[in-house]
Chain A
């Protein structure tokens, strides 16, 4: 187990404190650069700043090497799982994953049956959420294989911090995290079927619009909206301002599967590109990430990921899941009922920190109702042991305060899996909360990976 306090001496820390206090407020600059995320609340769109805390999360070299190995292993297995589900379905045949966890969930898309994406890659960019417990052990909380966002925030924060507080970095051996754009470019180029690479955004009213434009700028890809792309003669074209058509070979699409193509998914979609899915099926364009990945990252499937690692790779999982129970299994249901108060229950259909309840925080009436729902719809929930998170310090009004935090690690898949030597550390600003999601008012930190 390591933390900032373990790695740097008191003298160093006091020096850093002075820097934090004396540095121009990076938050102010983040605001000026438009580092924001949007949120819909009561049907109204609002842009919020994502509060940044200057004290980094620090992960030492050896520890990160361990995380890296575990993350690569996990993402490899998840890719094999998606390929298998839309192909031979051996894992179903061998009864490792029950069929209904695939077909009755919302992540499985029948339209993707039988499709082999360019180079066989489904999850090009994976955002894997981890937490560290008080005993130093890391646990995987969630896999995000659809459109994981958040890499741009630490990239931007690192850049601004280096500028406003260069002394903070002096003499410290930190992996440079500004190479994310290079990793992303390599990932997109690897699957490109010939032509331009574009980043497709639903527009400025999307929660992560800042990120779309920033990543486009940093990777040199065109930032486009659906109306600038058109399918003709089995290929995808970008229409530039003069009306000229240029072939597109890779689309890093930041719009969800259901809105991607009104001819194949949600017919009401006006931000999608008609027939893009048809030519993707023919292998004429790469979609990053592949449609249909939701089959591998819902909370119900999460339970099976360690089994997938054993099944596909014949290896023991390096990184563990948080201890999870599946009430679908009789034995687990009994455990959940008997130990209700010490568990956290998650609705598999919800995301973004919603649909998460702690057994201990319910009233007797709520417990009764919840248990009834659970018995009626056992497949709808998973239950987990509450992990005692390792607090990390944040600075508020010149004071150090302990807060819960998680880490979103980014794994990019090109000719080999690559783990970005940084990550998005999100913390809860509320001292009593475990929920760190930005949509629920959390903040973020830079993540320093030490190079020595």
Chain B
């Protein structure tokens, strides 16, 4: 990831959630990270279990960025272990971004899910959503809400995920937003995990499929706001552009 500022900035404080963490589904090895310009960083785990790097750069700089390399061993399981229902309550309530409006409420009203398990309900929601929402870049932004995206009829993976979270939460299913990567080259990806019988089951509504071993999870939270790859504050009156490049290649090696 690289940020380019139109003029020099200073006293830059940043928090990064860019390192995939160990889960039941994936093991992470040989991680190396470089953040530039010179900096001091600390590491911690946030309340969702995500690895957070935080630090600061005091001197003037025109660029800020980081590079993470590593190896992920995936396909270790089809789900993650989860806490009991009373422990995942925070994922059961709408956030400012997922809170449904008239459009999503009407859509929800027409989906019949009575009697199904959470897993089957999520499957139904994903299929219905996939059939009525179109993938299109450039029509939504970082702060677009689930309702706004839904009303527009098209969006990207983040929007699919937010709408699916809104619908699952209306059904009282605990569910969380996942930021991660998929096989190939390009940008990051997003999907959801839903809670069913003390497991987190991953669904990818953008591709209308169950998440498999071609996915690497980086972070999760109540919505995209909990999973920002980079957030920062600095002193400077500038415009900034962000470039993200994600490369996921397959390495076959049974010994991993």
Task: Name A residues whose Cβ lies closer than 8 Å to a Cβ of B.
Answer: 88-89, 92-93, 99-100, 102-104, 108, 110-115, 231-234, 262-264, 267, 274-275, 278-279, 281-282
The verdict on B105 contacting chain A, using a C-beta distance below 8 Å, is no
Number of A-B contacts defined by CB within 8 Å: 63
The distance in angstroms between the C-alpha atoms of A112 and B226, with both chains bound, is 13
Tell me which residues across on chain B come within 8 A of A234, comparing CB atoms: 42
The distance in angstroms between the C-alpha atoms of A391 and B42, with both chains bound, is 57
Closest chain B residue, CB of each to CB of A281? B44
Contact check: which of B13, B40, B42, B89 meets A103 at CB < 8 Å? B89
Closest chain A residue, CB of each to CB of B15? A263
B233:A274 contact, CB within 8 angstroms: yes
A267:B233 contact, CB within 8 angstroms: yes
Contact check: which of A108, A111, A112, A267 meets B231 at CB < 8 Å? A267
The verdict on B121 contacting chain A, using a C-beta distance below 8 Å, is no
Contact check: which of A89, A108, A114, A278 meets B54 at CB < 8 Å? A278
The distance in angstroms between the C-alpha atoms of A61 and B121, with both chains bound, is 63
The verdict on B84 contacting chain A, using a C-beta distance below 8 Å, is yes
Q: Which of B24-69 touch A at CB < 8 Å?
A: 40, 42, 44, 46-48, 52, 54, 56
B86:A99 contact, CB within 8 angstroms: yes
B47:A112 contact, CB within 8 angstroms: yes
A89:B87 contact, CB within 8 angstroms: yes
Contact check: which of B42, B48, B87 meets A278 at CB < 8 Å? B42
Closest chain B residue, CB of each to CB of A110? B90
B40:A233 contact, CB within 8 angstroms: yes
The distance in angstroms between the C-alpha atoms of A274 and B232, with both chains bound, is 9
Closest chain A residue, CB of each to CB of B55? A275
Q: Which of B85-104 touch A at CB < 8 Å?
A: 86-87, 89-90, 92-93
Tell me which residues across on chain B come within 8 A of A279, comparing CB atoms: 42
Known contacts A114-B47, A263-B233; is A278 also within 8 Å of B52 by CB?
A: yes
A92:B222 contact, CB within 8 angstroms: no
Tell me which residues across on chain A come within 8 A of B40, comparing CB atoms: 232-233
Closest Cβ–Cβ distance, residue A165 to chain B (whole Å): 53
Known contacts A103-B89, A233-B40, A278-B44; is A93 also within 8 Å of B233 by CB?
A: no
Total number of B residues with any Cβ neighbor in A under 8 Å: 22
Known contacts A263-B231, A275-B54, A278-B54; is A92 also within 8 Å of B89 by CB?
A: yes
| 28 A-B contact pairs sorted by A residue (CB < 8 Å) | A88-B87, A89-B87, A92-B86, A92-B89, A93-B86, A99-B86, A99-B92, A102-B89, A103-B89, A103-B92, A103-B93, A110-B47, A110-B90, A113-B47, A113-B90, A114-B47, A231-B56, A233-B42, A263-B13, A263-B231, A274-B56, A275-B54, A275-B56, A278-B42, A278-B52, A278-B54, A281-B44, A281-B46
Closest chain B residue, CB of each to CB of A102? B89
The distance in angstroms between the C-alpha atoms of A279 and B87, with both chains bound, is 25
A263:B93 contact, CB within 8 angstroms: no
Closest chain B residue, CB of each to CB of A279? B42
Known contacts A92-B89, A93-B84, A99-B89; is A274 also within 8 Å of B13 by CB?
A: yes
Closest Cβ–Cβ distance, residue B9 to chain A (whole Å): 14
A-B residue pairs, 5 tightest by C-beta? A113-B47, A274-B13, A93-B86, A103-B93, A92-B86
